[in-house]
Structure 1
Amino acid sequence: MDLFLLIMGLFCMLIGLLGSFLPVLPGPPVSWLGLLLLILTRAVPNDWWLIAITGVVALAVVALDYWIPVAGTRKFGGSRAGMVGTTIGLLVAIVFPVLGLAGIVIWPFIGAIVGELINKTSHQQALKAAFGSFVGFLTGTFLKFVVSVIYLGIFLFRAWDFRSGLFPFLE
């Protein structure tokens, strides 16, 4: 059972990393679930303080992920249409990965410009608002990625520390 929990926890960690970039997956909460699965093994001692603190951090990052793009868009004079355009641009980058990894950066920016232009703002204001929405999106994505990588590091170090209990057949 411990090996199953370890594998499922590692799977959650990898999905959590992907969720940092994909808007349909909540990255840090899925990574946190991976930590929880590791702690539930018999080989790793229960550290409920670690689970509680990382859980609070994961929830805070989810809340900030919604707030940061809104704040960036508002600061640069954008509208809700610009934020929706950013999200649609990200979905286009995921569905049509024509530009590769650069598409994840370029398409949300284009989507924000289109959203602002549909909202009937001037070209200059649309570009400014798109930049704000884009900066907010990148900040939120970076924050989710950093937290997910930290959780992966905690997972790997904890699994390594208790490897003899997790893999008794290797000794």
Structure 2
Amino acid sequence: MDILGWILVILLFVVGMAGAIYPILPGALAIYGAFFIYGWFFSFSEFGVWFWLIQTLIVVVLFVADYAVSAWGVKRFGGSRASVIGSTIGLIFGPFVIPAFGLVIGPFAGAVIGEMIIGTRFDKSLKVGLGSVVGLFSSVVVKFILQLAMIVLFVLWLVF
């Protein structure tokens, strides 16, 4: 039974880290869920209130940062609310429409289309689209670091 518990914990960690790159996967929530799986299979006694407070704070920061960093990329390159919305829609649907490259093309096209709908010149719309890609990559880096911090904190909490 111990082996099954560890397999599930590690599987959720892998899904969580993949979620840093692929937005459809529940990144931080999968990692957070791994803590509960560990507790059910082994014990919750290793985790005190501070563990749960710190991990929950990281998850909240992660969700806020994910949106804020992506929106920052669009806004930094002169985008409007329409391009933020378009970029978000493209991020969600892009990977399904164009499986290999939709993760990058989706937010780019969504931001460009969002700007074009509100009447922005095409050259500025392209610049905003570039900003959405910069925001996406920046967001991936932030998510990866924070989610890795969650896993490292879990391991350190068990060891010490």
Q: When the two structures are superposed, what TM-score results if normalisation uses the length of structure 2?
A: 0.76
Partner SS for 1:47 = coil
User: Aligned residues, how many?
Assistant: 158
**Residue 33 of structure 2 corresponds to which residue in structure 1?**
33
- Give the direction of change, closer, same or farther, for the CA distance of 1:134–1:70 in structure 2 (3 Å limit): same
For 1:138-157, list aligned pairs within 5 A.
138-153=137-152
Once the 2 structures are TM-superposed, how far is the Cα of residue 152 of structure 1 from its aligned partner? 4.1
**Residue 57 of structure 2 corresponds to which residue in structure 1?**
56
**Residue 75 of structure 2 corresponds to which residue in structure 1?**
74
After TM superposition, the structure 1 stretch with the greater mean CA deviation from structure 2, 62-71 or 11-20, is 11-20
**Residue 7 of structure 1 corresponds to which residue in structure 2?**
7
Q: Contact between 1:112 and 1:134, CA under 8 Å: does it hold in 2?
A: no
After TM superposition, the structure 1 stretch with the greater mean CA deviation from structure 2, 8-17 or 112-121, is 8-17
- Which one has the largest radius of gyration? 1
**Residue 22 of structure 2 corresponds to which residue in structure 1?**
22
Cα displacement string for residues 54-86 of structure 1 (whole angstroms, at most 9, x for unaligned residues)? 221121111111122223322322122212322
Distance 1:41 1:52 in 2: 21
Aligned identity (percent) is 28
Aligned-residue Cα RMSD (Å) equals 2.9
Q: Which blocks of at least 5 consecutive residues in structure 2 are unaligned?
A: none
**Residue 133 of structure 1 corresponds to which residue in structure 2?**
132
Q: Which blocks of at least 5 consecutive residues in structure 1 are unaligned?
A: 162-171
Q: Contact between 1:71 and 1:136, CA under 8 Å: does it hold in 2?
A: yes
For 1:91-170, list aligned pairs within 5 A.
91-98=92-99, 100=100, 102-153=101-152
Q: Contact between 1:83 and 1:112, CA under 8 Å: does it hold in 2?
A: yes
Q: Contact between 2:116 and 2:125, CA under 8 Å: does it hold in 1?
A: yes
Distance 2:60 2:141 in 1: 16
Distance 1:109 1:64 in 2: 19
Distance 1:158 1:24 in 2: 29
Distance 2:26 2:142 in 1: 12
Q: When the two structures are superposed, what TM-score results if normalisation uses the length of structure 1?
A: 0.72
Cα displacement string for residues 93-112 of structure 1 (whole angstroms, at most 9, x for unaligned residues)? 421445x3x54223322322
